[in-house]
Copies of this chain bind each other. A is one copy, B any other.
Amino acid sequence: MVRTGQPAWEGNLLTRVVTVGDVAVGGPDPVVIAGPCAVESRAQTLELAHAVKAAGATMLRGGAFKPRTSPYDFQGLGRAGLEILAEARAATGLPVVTEVLDPRDVAMVAELADVFQIGARNMQNYPLLREVGRAGKPVLLKRHWAATLLEWLCAAEYVAVEGNLDVILCERGIRTFTHTDYNRNTLDLNVVPAVREMSFLPVVVDPSHATGVASLVPPVCFASVAAGAHGLLVEVLGERTRPEDALSDGHQSIRPSVLADVIARLRTFTPGAVAGTLA
């Protein structure tokens, strides 16, 4: 993977490859992590795990602990949700990415999941970052919607100082004056090549939060990979579930059939045709 002869704008650092089971994040092939926003039930999660695997995803996402704006909204199934995710992993072979909110839950999550997700709200929750840094499993670190690049990289450093360099950065949109216009957040596409210039960590994009609108998710998937993202983190809804019936984020989730179409199209990107997908 020596990057000889590459254009300067393809990033000036070798990317660290973070390995999760058989999956390499940071290598030439973009990784697709997909699944429901929240683990709502065993049936929903197993169905979606099989569906995203069939669509071509290589990791499963799903929230057992949900940070919600209101304390009266669904807060996740907690440990029961983690156990459902572990069962879905056993059934599909897909490694599991799931969020942890509380430093006191880190050991429990480490026992049942493969990658810790740190949500945008907790990007600067330093006790939590240190705790996952000590837990010996990879960390997917979402950027806060108002974090500078330095703040984001320094948050990764809180994990790293505990001895864990397996951090995957995840851009999920920033909050701008366009909030509540045609999208919920503004995808910050520029930050993807900026990260590749300034950091050795792999960077993925969450098009679901970076748009907040299901119809915008596919074009943003293509754009993110074209700009050099190492992967995607996509929220998926059951093929026939109504968006308003999902317990969270229904309107920004795509169907498994759309995910399959997106992944198939991504595979036709000629290797080397786009920034960041090196021969």
Question: Given B126, B157, B177, B265, which contacts A146 in the complex, CB threshold below 8 Å?
Answer: B177
Q: Are B186 and A188 in contact (CB under 8 A)?
A: yes
Residues of B within 8 A of A178 (CB): 148-149, 174, 188, 190-191
Q: A98 to chain B: which residues have CB within 8 Å? A: none
Q: Nearest chain B CB to A195's CB is how many angstroms away?
A: 9
How many residues of A are in contact with the other chain, CB < 8 A? 78
Interface 9-mer from A82-90, A223-231, A234-242: A223-231
B186 touches A174 (CB 8 A): yes
Check if A67 sits within 8 Å of B124, measured CB to CB. Answer: yes
The answer to whether B194 and A182 have CB atoms under 8 Å apart is yes
A247 interface residue, CB < 8 Å from B? no
Question: Can you tell how many copies of this chain the complex includes?
Answer: 4
Is A154's beta carbon under 8 Å from chain B?
A: yes
A169 to chain B, nearest CB (A): 13
Which chain A residues in 179-202 approach chain B with CB under 8 Å? 179-183, 186-194, 197-198
With contact pairs A124-B121, A274-B222, A274-B226 given, residues A258 and B7 touching in the complex (Cβ less than 8 Å): yes
Residue of B nearest to A188 (CB): B186
B198 near A182 with CB under 8 A, answer yes
With an 8 A cutoff between CB atoms, is A250 at the interface?
A: no
Bound-state CA distance A68–B161 (Å) is 14
A104, B103: Cβ atoms under 8 Å? yes
Indicate if the CB atoms of B69 and A151 lie closer than 8 Å.
Answer: yes
A158 interface residue (CB < 8 Å to B): yes
Q: Which 7 A-B pairs have the closest CB atoms?
A: A146-B146, A226-B226, A223-B223, A121-B124, A222-B226, A182-B194, A102-B127
